[in-house]
Structures are given as structure tokens and as C-alpha cells.
Chains A and B, each alone.
Chain A
Amino acid sequence: MNIFVCVKQVPDTTGKVAVKDDGTLDRASMATITNPDDLNAVEAALTLRDEIADAKVIIVVMGPPAAASMIHELLAMGADEAVLISGREFGGSDTFATSQIIAAGIKTYGLGEGDIVFCGRQAIDGDTAQVGPQIAEKLGIPQVTYAAGIKYEAGKVTVKRMLEDGYMTVETQTPCLITCIKELNKPRYMSVKGILEFDTKPYYVYDYEKLKDDPLIEADTIGLKGSPTNIFKSFTPPQKGVGQMLEGSGKETVDKLFNILLEKHVI
């Protein structure tokens, strides 16, 4: 059984956000991290792999060659293999084109009957939450989003979805795609053993040549040209002032609020 995990390397938005003159993110000048929700997806995959005999976890990343350092960390966490989809032709892709390419990558590796694809809910740079669902559509498999709990039986997955106002439990057959949220689990750490062994694991690079024969890959479905979305402008929003939380009983907090408003001559 193949358990795929789609992972994105993203700029560390806790640091300074840099924007280029053309409005796109200046990724080169920003520190990178593994997208946090994707780490939950990796953990879900590894947990499942540990339960099932003959299962392996394959990390699937689309990105520049520099994404290797992140992939090495995921292999050191315990993933079994990695596929880096990388090529100039793929640059500038929006969520539509990206999911097209990643789906082609998964198909090229080989998606079988009992397989599962895990994704993070969304990436912290674009916050679209579109790539996971679109990959499922392009692979023609069912999808379950916002997974906060996963139960696996052969050929069947039961997922507890976390929604704004409650939970929804969904059962689906495999192959399927599941997007994970941070409530699902606590990602494991790398291990020293894993670090010592990561470079012994299979690591494939899929370039344009490798994927070009897949029907999903056309000149007008990938890269900047194949992207219906174009970025008009990016900017750093002005910082809001720091709020103040009042603690205590209803009466106490109202008293405090009253005093603050008095001090500021609002009332």
C-alpha cells in the first residue's frame, strides 16, 4: 500500500514578509519551513504506515531543487521515499496548475486500489486550501477535507471532519484523498537514527520530461501560462494595535472596561 503525502515548503511568515516589485512573494529572501498543516498530514501517514504491514510513505513535493533540505527532514522523521517534482516549466503555477502537476506526479509513481493521499488543509503562504481537493478531482478519487480524526480498516477510511459548528463523520473507500488539520495529531520529531539514514532512502526527481506524456500535462495547463489566477498585488497589511484582554467575572470586566473608557474620555 502506498501512502502519499503532498508537502509544500513555505516562507516562514512569522518572520518578515518580503514582496517583490511585481507583487509576488520574494521567497528567496525569506526563511523557509515545512507548511505546518502538511506536517500533520505526514504524521497521519506515518501513524497509518506503522499500523499496516507492507505500507510505505511517499513524500510528494513540488518545488525548486532547494526543497531537498525539507524533504531530507521528512525522510528523517520516518517517511520511506520522496518524489520532488521540479522544473522551470512548472514555475509560476497557481493552485489549478499545481494540482494538475502533482496529480500527474502521483499517477506517474502509481496510484493503486488501496492507496491514500494525505495533504495539509492549506498552506500558510496562499491560504487557499484548494490544492488538496483539486488533486483529488484530477485523480478521480473521493476526498475528505478537514480531518481531525482518522480510522482505517482495509479498503475503508472513516474520517471525523472538523467544521465550524461541529463534527461530521464521513466514511469513504480507498483510494481517497484526505486533508489534515492541526487538531488531528502532534507531528513527531526527526530522530538521530532517521537523520543518519535519510540518504539511503529512494529519492526521485520528476522533471517536465518525466511527466510530459501524462494527459494532465499540457503547455496551457501548467506553469504561469496554465494558471487562470494571476496575482494582482501583494502587500503587508498594516499592523493592528495590540488588543487587551480583560479577565475576571462579568462584573469585574465591565468595571475594568468602564474605567478604561473613562480614562480615555470616551464616556
Chain B
Amino acid sequence: MILSEKYQMMRKFYREFAETEFTSELLDELEETGEFNWEIFHKIAAAGLTGVKIPQEYGGQGGDYMAYTLMMEELSRVSAVLAIYANTSNSLGGGPLLYCANEEQKQKYLVPVAKGEKIIVFGLTEPGAGSDAGGTQTTALPDPEDPDYYILNGRKTFISAAPMADWAVIYAKTDLSQKGSRGISMFILDMKLPGVSVGKHENKMGITGYPTSDIIMDNVRVHKSDLLGPLHKGFITAMKTLNGGRLGTAAQALGIAQHALEEAVKFSKERVQFGKPICKNQGISFMLADMATEIEAARQLIYHTAEAMNADTPDVPQLCSMAKYYATEMANRVCYKAVQIHGGYGYIKEYPVERLYRDVRITTIFEGTSQVQQMVISGALLK
């Protein structure tokens, strides 16, 4: 598709922002310390990026799915991890609030999240419930002593940004008699409540600089006004939120792949072997051609999916899965080739492709593995 003038302007804005603010010193620091960088988070928030896809009446910028997709692509092109800084509030964190919070909850939670004044995270995965979210064991049961409260118990795992979070959207079983994905509800958990703790820092392969840990709830009393959406029907929202998240992850992979291609093109023109730049060999140049072709195919699929989400077409779940499945697997292939073209240098941390190769690996895993996407796609075909 050909981007409208407004989308082209957005791309230019995101690119300028990322290329100016995501300096190589900052990226090195994130790699070395693994710590959350508040300074860049505040810059991202001040530029409105934490609220790109959130309506203006709730403190956001009022952009659509295409505006969001372009942001993820362009920020990830410079830094996959800093793209996540801008992503969470627009996607997994803000999504459930946007879809089913009541007006009071939106004012209280969504507005500061959109402005980047507060951080909200998404707590679905558990040690025994990853791809199978229906296996949720965290419970939220009415407090026998005070009907205005629920008592939450359980453990959420691999929660991105948990250590910095002000709030978490927690999925918990509220009706123990219902099986599988039924009987699950959503709560907004204040991370400062008694009984809430975060687990140890997870030492990840890539996307370092966005701390991830468990959230543990031990008899946490949550007021009923923090029940999000209808009781026992939280799983539907989880799936809807994940659709948007899958689009974002696809765009993230696209940005990483684009960066890898640019690095590979540059290196192959500079690196001389057997008396000529290695790009003069078809073995290399055809690899570059394949990378560029796959990237463009993924881009078109992703943009089409974003437009489908804007139009809310019925095939959105499959399209989101296809976009994530294709783009993330593609990006892994592209980063593999980019490292291969770099030869030994690609294995050295001084060269960006080394980081890209590690960063891209998570994309086929989080927000639904490639195999889960295949289940969604084939499920739609075979129903």
C-alpha cells in the first residue's frame, strides 16, 4: 500500500525521534546494565508515544492502528527494547483499559498511563499457563468478611516491566466451577498493596534494559471497583488485547529485520575479500535480495492487518496471527543471514547485528508463539 501523507509524516517523526534520542551510548548502557532507563522513558512519554493509540479524551494522541504499527516499526528499527518502552501502554497494558474499563476507571488509570506518568503491565502468563491461558490458577475470590473486596492469590510470570509497574492487569479465576478459559476475570492490581511482591530479575538473552520478573500475590485485598470488565468474562478481553499485541510484535520484528538488512547491505559493500567487495558475489547479493523481498512482503501484510483492525473486519484474529507468524519468523531468517554476511564480525558485540540476532529471537515467542499463531490460523480454516 502507498502511505497517505499523514502516515508518511508519522514515519518521519518516529524515525527522527528514534535516530536522535536512541543514541548508541544509551543502547550500550541498556545492554550493560539491563536496567530500565527513566530518562528516555520520560522523553518517549513527552513526545506522546506512550499514548499514540489512546484517544485524545483519555490523554493520548488519538492515532489508529496504522499510526501504532508505524511507531513500532520505526522505533524497533533503532532499538527493539526501547520500542517496548513506548508499546506497553498502547498495547497489553492500556488495551484492556481501553476495551472494557468504565469511565471512572479510564479517568483514573488510562489517562496517566497514556501520558506515561504511570506504568501498567499485563499479567496473564503463569508458571503453568503460558500458551494455554485457560490453565490460569491465580484466584480472586470474594472476601468472606467484606463483600466489597476480592482476595487475590497466585503467581504471574515473565511480566515485562513488573519491577517498575504502578499497576498490573491481572487475570484470575473468579469462578472455580467453570473449566478452561471460562470463569476468568480481570482486575487492576495496585502494585503497592500489601501482599504484592515481585520476583527475581530475569536475565534474558535479548531485549535487555526492560526488566522482567514475576508478580506474586499473597492474600491481596482488591476493591471491587478495580474489577475490570464483566465478571467471569475476562478471557475474551485477553484475546482481543493479544490481537493488538500481535500486530505490534509483528511490526517490532519488521523494524529489527529492516535494521539487519541495512547493516548487511552496508557491510557487504565495505568488506573486501578476493579483491572485491563481497556484495559483488551472487552468493551474498542474492541473500540480500531475499531478505529485502521477505521484509517487504511482511510489511504489506502488517499494514493490511493494521487497516483491517481500523475497519474491525471479521478476519482480524487470523490476520493478526498471520502477520505475527510470518513477520517474526521472517525477521529471524533475516537476522540469521545478516550475521552470516558479516562472518566473524557478526559474532562480535561491536557490530549491531550481534544484538539484533539476540533481540529478534523473542519475537516468535512472546505474545503467542509461532505455533499458537498456527493454531489460530488453522483453527479459523477448519472450523
User: Which A residues form the contact surface with B (CB < 8 A)?
Assistant: 69, 72-73, 76, 189-193, 195-196
What B residues does A76 contact at CB under 8 A? 9, 13
What B residues does A193 contact at CB under 8 A? 48, 56, 61-62
> B47–A191 contact, CB under 8 A?
yes
Distance in angstroms between the alpha carbons of A191 and B51 in the assembled complex: 11
Q: What does the 1/0 interface line of B53-74 toward A look like (CB < 8 Å)?
A: 0001000011100010000000
A-B contact pairs, 28 of them (CB 8 A): A72-B5, A72-B9, A76-B9, A189-B13, A189-B16, A189-B17, A189-B47, A190-B9, A190-B12, A191-B13, A191-B47, A191-B48, A192-B10, A192-B13, A192-B48, A192-B52, A192-B61, A192-B62, A192-B63, A192-B67, A193-B48, A193-B56, A193-B61, A193-B62, A195-B6, A195-B9, A195-B13, A196-B61
Query: What is the minimal beta-carbon distance from B114 to any residue of chain A, in angstroms?
Result: 11
By beta carbon, the residue of chain B nearest A191 is B48
What A residues does B5 contact at CB under 8 A? 69, 72
What B residues does A189 contact at CB under 8 A? 13, 16-17, 47
By beta carbon, the residue of chain B nearest A195 is B9
Query: What is the minimal beta-carbon distance from A70 to any residue of chain B, in angstroms?
Result: 11
Size of the B side of the interface (Cβ < 8 Å), in residues, is 16
Distance in angstroms between the alpha carbons of A191 and B10 in the assembled complex: 8
Q: For A76, A190, A192, which residue has the most chain B Cβ atoms within 10 angstroms?
A: A192
User: Which B residues form the contact surface with A (CB < 8 A)?
Assistant: 5-6, 9-10, 12-13, 16-17, 47-48, 52, 56, 61-63, 67
What B residues does A72 contact at CB under 8 A? 5, 9
Query: What is the minimal beta-carbon distance from B287 to any residue of chain A, in angstroms?
Result: 28
Distance in angstroms between the alpha carbons of A214 and B79 in the assembled complex: 53
By beta carbon, the residue of chain B nearest A199 is B6
By beta carbon, the residue of chain A nearest B71 is A192
What A residues does B48 contact at CB under 8 A? 191-193
A189-B17, A193-B61, A196-B61 given. 16 additional CB < 8 A pairs? A72-B9, A73-B12, A76-B9, A76-B13, A189-B16, A190-B12, A191-B61, A192-B52, A192-B61, A192-B67, A193-B62, A195-B9, A195-B10, A195-B13, A196-B62, A196-B63
Distance in angstroms between the alpha carbons of A125 and B143 in the assembled complex: 73
Distance in angstroms between the alpha carbons of A151 and B52 in the assembled complex: 33
By beta carbon, the residue of chain A nearest B20 is A189
By beta carbon, the residue of chain A nearest B21 is A189
By beta carbon, the residue of chain A nearest B16 is A189
Distance in angstroms between the alpha carbons of A246 and B314 in the assembled complex: 65
Query: What is the minimal beta-carbon distance from B2 to any residue of chain A, in angstroms?
Result: 15
Distance in angstroms between the alpha carbons of A211 and B85 in the assembled complex: 50
What B residues does A196 contact at CB under 8 A? 6, 61-63
Distance in angstroms between the alpha carbons of A189 and B11 in the assembled complex: 12
Report if A190-B13 is in contact (Cβ < 8 Å); known contacts: A69-B5, A195-B6, A196-B6: yes
Distance in angstroms between the alpha carbons of A193 and B54 in the assembled complex: 11
Query: What is the minimal beta-carbon distance from A135 to any residue of chain B, in angstroms?
Result: 29
What A residues does B47 contact at CB under 8 A? 189, 191
What A residues does B13 contact at CB under 8 A? 76, 189-192, 195
By beta carbon, the residue of chain A nearest B52 is A192
Distance in angstroms between the alpha carbons of A69 and B12 in the assembled complex: 12
Query: What is the minimal beta-carbon distance from B265 to any residue of chain A, in angstroms?
Result: 18
Query: What is the minimal beta-carbon distance from B266 to any residue of chain A, in angstroms?
Result: 17
Distance in angstroms between the alpha carbons of A160 and B13 in the assembled complex: 31
What A residues does B56 contact at CB under 8 A? 193
Distance in angstroms between the alpha carbons of A76 and B52 in the assembled complex: 15
By beta carbon, the residue of chain B nearest A196 is B62
Distance in angstroms between the alpha carbons of A72 and B6 in the assembled complex: 9
Distance in angstroms between the alpha carbons of A145 and B47 in the assembled complex: 30
By beta carbon, the residue of chain A nearest B13 is A190
What B residues does A73 contact at CB under 8 A? 9, 12
Distance in angstroms between the alpha carbons of A193 and B48 in the assembled complex: 8
Distance in angstroms between the alpha carbons of A193 and B17 in the assembled complex: 15
Query: What is the minimal beta-carbon distance from B95 to any residue of chain A, in angstroms?
Result: 18
Query: What is the minimal beta-carbon distance from A190 to any residue of chain B, in angstroms?
Result: 4
What A residues does B12 contact at CB under 8 A? 73, 190
What B residues does A69 contact at CB under 8 A? 5
What A residues does B61 contact at CB under 8 A? 191-193, 196
Distance in angstroms between the alpha carbons of A243 and B62 in the assembled complex: 49
Distance in angstroms between the alpha carbons of A193 and B53 in the assembled complex: 10
What A residues does B6 contact at CB under 8 A? 195-196
7 interchain residue pairs of minimum CB distance: A192-B61, A190-B13, A193-B61, A192-B63, A191-B48, A195-B9, A195-B6
